[in-house]
Amino acid sequence: MSKTTKTYIRHLHALINRHLGPSSLPGEGIQYWRQRIFHYFSLAIVFFGVTVYLYYGLYFLFSQDYHLLAFSTFIFISSLLMVSLPGIPLKIRSGWVQLMLFITGTFLLFLGPHTNIGMIFLFACSIMAVTMSGTITAIRYMILHSIVLTAVGFYWYSGRFQLTNFPDISLHTYINLAISFMVLNTITLAPLISLINGLMFSIKKERRYQRILEKEQDDLVLARQKAEESDKLKTAFLSNMSHEIRTPMNAILGFSNLLSHKGVSDQEKKEFVNLIRINANNLMSLVEDIIDISKMESGQFELHNSPCQLHQLLDETNNIFEEEIFRRGITNVKLYLKKGLADENLQILTDGIRLKKVLANLIGNAIKFTHKGYVEFGYVVKNHHQLEFYVKDTGIGLPEGTEELIFNRFYKCSNNSEKLYGGTGIGLTIARHLVRYMGGDIRVDSRSAVGTTFYFTIPFQKVLVPLQNQVKPWLSDSINWEGKTFLVAEDEEDNFRYLEVALSLFNASLIWARDGREAVDILQKVNQIDLVLMDIKMPVMDGYTAVREIRKFNKTVPVIAQTAYTMRGEKAEALKAGCNEYISKPINYNELVDMIKQFIPDKMENQTQSQGIVS
């Protein structure tokens, strides 16, 4: 074969496969292959149909059978239209072509001397039916073909019809042809049906696996995006955390160094001590926030519901932030408190500490983002079972679309790029968690540059119990533990030094044990120990083990556990080990003294009791 001939064949092949092929391939899997098959069927129908139509069209024209000419023209033109209009669904196009093939084959068999061509059309109908429409349609056409062949035989060879044209074959030959056609049709369609069903099953299975892979790929992409977003948020969080920790530490260390300077007056020293206390409290609040959110996300967070004097809590919160506003020299922002009920002694059942924490987070944010105007907070009675608290400000507001994002961990937003706002980005996350733990929900209503209002609800359950008398503050010279000996089990010298100085103000004598084993040994040797302050985490022997050993030979000495652990169940574990009380670090000076007073009455109390007995 010459090179020119091969080039022409290659161009013809390209013409058929590209230019005469379907312009688009809708669907996937078996639909794709059916589109391809129909395309090649269409090519065959076009070329073969033109030949057949020209032959029979001229035949009918010369025979003056105009009705047959019109019939054949309709079949040919409609088939061409169906083949050439890709906008029509494939199912309709292929169904119409199958019907036209069936009608044409049937027409040629009844016409007379065209048996072979008619059977070819019926055979083509069967092949197209099984490949384009499936097994059921193919079987239906096979049944129709057997009916047609029987009807044609009866029409030509029964002698009941007066015929002008006789068939070109005998009855015996026709029967052989009909049987051969049905056998050929069956043995061709049976494996073809099996092949197509297997192909469809394989394509569906492959597509199912492909969907699974696509879903897994989408999940991986989504997981990667979340991981990248989480990494960015954590990076921002660490940066913010570094800033938020170093800021109060700078004040604490700076003012601590200045306290020892000779040129600092007593008044300035008092101011520095107050600033150190404020920044230490801020630092402690930050640490508590981190611990709280860790507990929440690990499922170890617990609420402690008890009677709470609501208005007293609100007044305390108001006083704290009024003092904060005054201390920071903020003159353009006013703070207002609105109470929903007039009863000043109203008590509700809730976790007052957590409620105060939510309010503090929201009010602190409101003051931080308000440059001029007011911040208002309070509550209203929403119904008999709910209180709705609110914190409203006239600050910068929130950018549109961030109403939910602000509750995400580490998320921070600002409408003013020229001003840097502090914060770790977890305050609102903690607030939402706390509100939901308390049985309510939180939402925000904000307009940029107008202001923001946070609303949150908690269950409203009144508690009718007598009000407890407020504990009067004690003075250092009103407590005297002279003659009392306390054993302090503490491995950190600085922590022991703090307790030594604090308790020496009340004339108590202290013995220092540097680990649990040493504490046990001292108690076995010294009988005059009135109370034990037991640290939990120590070398050699931990605090819990030490307390268990102590209880084996001393059941009466009071033991107060002191620990930096604040996880759920820690207090219960301490009491189970044999401790009488539990106090968490950092140890509050007043709280510690009050706790010791429960077990060790001071000298003045003893004198008062003795006088009462004498009288």
3-state DSSP of 95-128: HHHHHHHHHHHHHHHHHCCCHHHHHHHHHHHHHH
pLDDT surpassing 50 at residue 401? yes
pLDDT per residue over 462-509, tens digit each? Answer: 887 655 544 444 444 568 898 899 999 998 888 888 888 888 888 889
pLDDT per residue over 410-439, tens digit each? Answer: 666 654 444 445 555 677 888 898 999 899
**For the whole model, what pTM was predicted?**
0.52
pLDDT surpassing 90 at residue 242? no
List 532's β-bridge partners, or say none. 487, 559
Ordered by where they begin, the domains of the chain are 24-169 (no CATH), 308-459 (3.30.565.10), 485-604 (3.40.50.2300)
* Over residues 370-380, mean pLDDT: 92
Token pair 């609303």 is at which residue? 455
pLDDT per residue over 297-316, tens digit each? Answer: 777 777 888 899 999 999 99
Return the pLDDT at 14. 59
Structure tokens at 180: 């051969």
* Over residues 362-380, mean pLDDT: 91
* Over residues 517-529, mean pLDDT: 92
DSSP state of 64: T
Angstrom CA distances, 247 to 424, 492, 585, stand at 12, 26, 22
pLDDT per residue over 151-161, tens digit each? Answer: 988 888 887 88
Return the pLDDT at 447. 75
Rounded Cα–Cα distance for residues 541 and 517 (Å): 5
What confidence tier does 12 reach under pLDDT thresholds 50, 70, 90? low
Rounded Cα–Cα distance for residues 472 and 474 (Å): 6
| Phi and psi angles of residue 313, each rounded to the nearest 5 degrees, phi first | -60, -45
Q: Is residue 452 within 8 Å of 444, Cβ to Cβ?
A: yes
- Positive or negative, the CA dihedral 530, 535, 541, 544 is positive
pLDDT surpassing 70 at residue 563? yes
Return the pLDDT at 23. 39
pLDDT per residue over 436-474, tens digit each? Answer: 989 999 999 877 667 889 999 999 988 876 555 444 444
Q: What angle do CA 515, 517, 518 make, to 5 degrees?
A: 70
